[in-house]
Structure formats: structure tokens, C-alpha cells
Amino acid sequence: MAITTVPGKHVDIKMWTRAEDVEPQAMQQLRNISSLPWAVKHVAVMPDVHFGKGATVGSVIAMRDAVSPAAVGVDIGCGMAAVRTSLTANDLPADLGKLRADMEKAVPVGFGAHKEAAFGTRDAQDWQQFWRGFEDLTPAVRARADRAVNQMGTLGGGNHFLEVCLDTQKRVWIMLHSGSRNIGNELAQHHISVARGLAHNSALPDPDLAVFLAGTPQMAAYRHDLYWAQDYARRNRAVMLRLVCDVFRKRFVKIGFDEPISCHHNYVAEETHFGEEVLVTRKGAIRAGLGDLGIIPGSMGTGSYIVRGLGNPESFESASHGAGRRMSRNKARQRFSRDDLIAQTKGVECRKDTGVIDEIPAAYKDIDDVIANQADLVEIVAKLKQVICVKG
């Protein structure tokens, strides 16, 4: 679709969706972001855009010598991982319940954690170096060390999921969505609070958009913690993927796996755009540089896409992170019933109880429409449809 441009206060707002399809609260947030004096060129808005804390989910912001923690999101490093297996649909058992149970046994969900470290002794030196970085995080989280260790390789709840999918060639994929667990959230909340108290943020239209400035100790502390949490999230997905692949290896002895695909969609990156070195925050957006492989999931009943980036400079080489919510969790719980959930997840081995009604497919935008709206940002590599979905 053609880019929709909305005038902003400091920079314009460029959207890969129609302005009338953006909820008023989210549009106000975009206007607030556009007023930030550190923003460069424009704010890029993905087709899955919706209201978030401080900054909208589905927004990409390039800043000069500044970064806003709320423009990253509270689940630092949240993202996706997927791997195609050598299996086909015919290799899967008719009753998928046992396979789902084995996956849930291997990967704790919700508030669950491993009883002992799940990353084992593989690459021990690398892991030791990573965990030493915990000692240099803000003192506000130092007491969480043991929990951070035991939550490495766990799914969490909410919109996080672990799936077995089939592509249009009936090849079996394993796919998952998760982030930096509670440690990333605590780091984000701490730094948002610190930023709100800085003098240069006193006149912002929304205190949650508070920024850190380059060359300050607060920025240095945030970037240290941020990059550690992003690494935690990446490793968390890699450990989970290994645990699930081990489940499949036990059941399918001759199984093979392609190279995994992994991508953040709540993160900061140092990049060059329009000839300028900037700090890019992608909150609910993936990098879609030329040739970059990415994952754009739908809801727990509608399927997902593997995509390849086209490197569009207008989006700061970005694309959407998923379908995006069309209604809040509370509204979904009020509007839909367990019977609705059962009907909308027909054919998927998954939870069908009231505890996940807020994740019902109808609470999300149409993933096919979202993909169509960003045809100039990504090309489709594979379309997947889940047959198993594990939720926390």
C-alpha cells in the first residue's frame, strides 16, 4: 500500500497502514513521539501498530544522541526464533497431545522456571563470560541472579508461545516467541523511572517518553543493561529451541534441522540511515535489511510468515513484528467466550480454557492484511500454520 504521511511537530509520521485504522490513543502517542527534538527524519509506523506504554507498539524511531527506554518496550529483546525440520506432516502422530505435553515438560511456561540451569555445560566459557556481566547490572536487580539463571530457557506468558507449524509444502517447523523474562522487565522499569527524573525530560508531552542523552552516565548505564538483556533474550530463545529440538530428536531419531532464524523485535541498534549514525529503537518491529530473514507471527489460530527484508530506507529497514492487537486484553475477555476460543482454534492442539481468551485470534488484526500492507518492506519466504500451540 502507499505510505500514509501525517504531519508531526518535529518530524513527520509515515505509516504502513491507514490513519483511520490507528486507534486514537495510539495516534496521540505517535504525535508525542514526533515532537521529540532528538528524532531524525520521521517516525516509521508498522501495519500492526497499537497502543503501548509511552511509545506505540509497532513504531520505529531513529534518534540522534538519545534513546527512550519506553520506545524499546519493557520486555527488552523480545523476539522470535524458528527452525525448519526434515519432517513432513505425515511424520507427525495423529494425536498431537502427547507431543505438546512433552514440549511443555521440557520448557516451563507462565511463571515457571527450571529447577536447575538449562543451558548446561555446552560452550561453558561463553556462558561464564555472559553471566559475569550480571554482576555489572544496576544494583536494583542484583538479588534476582538465581531466578535469572533458572528462567533462562523458559517461555513466560501473555502473547509468548511455542509452536509446531506446517508450511505450504507440509514441512514441519518449530517456532517460538519470548523475551528476556522478568529480568529484562525489571531493568526496563528501573531505567524508565530514572529517565523520568532527569531535568531535560521535564517538558515532554508524556513522561514515559523520557530519554537518556549520549555522553551521560545514565545513558552508559542503560546501554550496558540494555545490551545484556538483549543478549539474555537471544540466548533464552536459543536454549528453548534446543530443548524442543531435543524432544523431537527423542521421538524422531533421523530428524534433521535447518539453520535457525532468530530476530529481536523490542530492541535498540546502532545503525546508519540517510547518511547519519543513529540509535534505532524498534518496539514491535523487526529489522528488514536487504536479505535479512525475519519472522512475523499471527495469532494462536491463524498462522505466521517467514519473510526476507527488502531494505526499504523509508521504514529504517524495518517491518512489523506480528499481526498486532485490535483490542485490549480486558476487552477480549469481556467480548469472547470459551466456545469462541474453541471455534477459532479448531484444528490446533492448544489450551482452550478461559485463561487464554485474551489471546483469542479475533483479538488480533488479520495477519494476511498486515503482510499485504508491507509488500514494499518484505517478501514472503514461507507461510506457516500451527498444529500445536503452547501458551503460558
177 is in an annotated binding site: yes
324 is in an annotated binding site: yes
User: 323 with 388: CB under 8 angstroms?
Assistant: no
User: 76 with 187: CB under 8 angstroms?
Assistant: yes
- C-alpha grid cell, residue 45: 509506523
Number of residues that make up the chain: 392
Q: Measured between alpha carbons, how far is 188 from 151 in angstroms, rounded to an integer?
A: 17
150 is in an annotated binding site: no
Name the residue among 164, 163, 166 with its Cα closest to residue 88: 166
Determine if residue 206 is left, alpha or beta; phi over 0 gives left, psi from -120 to 50 gives alpha, anything else beta.
beta
Name the residue among 192, 155, 158 with its Cα closest to residue 74: 192
Is 321 tagged catalytic? yes
98 is in an annotated binding site: no
Residue 372, number of CB atoms within 10 A of its CB:
11
299 is in an annotated binding site: yes
298 is in an annotated binding site: yes
Q: Which amino acid is at 33?
A: I
Name the residue among 234, 163, 278, 17 with its Cα closest to residue 26: 17
Helix (H) or strand (E) holding 380: strand 378-391
97 is in an annotated binding site: no
Strands (E) located in 228-376: 261-264, 266-273, 276-283, 285-287, 293-297, 304-309, 318-320, 349-350
What contacts 120, CB < 8 A, 6 or more positions away? none
304 is in an annotated binding site: yes
- C-alpha grid cell, residue 79: 523476539
Which candidate in 190, 191, 273, 321 is catalytic? 321
Q: Which amino acid is at 136?
A: D
315 is in an annotated binding site: no
User: 388 with 164: CB under 8 angstroms?
Assistant: yes
User: 165 with 171: CB under 8 angstroms?
Assistant: no
185 is in an annotated binding site: no
297 is in an annotated binding site: yes
Q: How far is CA 353 from the centre of its chain?
A: 24
229 is in an annotated binding site: no
120 is in an annotated binding site: no
DSSP conformation class of 92:
S
256 is in an annotated binding site: no
10 is in an annotated binding site: no
75 is in an annotated binding site: yes
Name the residue among 188, 186, 194 with its Cα closest to residue 213: 194
104 is in an annotated binding site: no
Catalytic machinery residues: 321
Binding site listing: 75, 159-163, 177, 265-266, 297-300, 304, 321-324, 391
Binding site listing for Mn(2+): 75, 160, 177, 265
Binding site listing for GMP: 159-163, 265-266, 297-300, 304, 321-324, 391
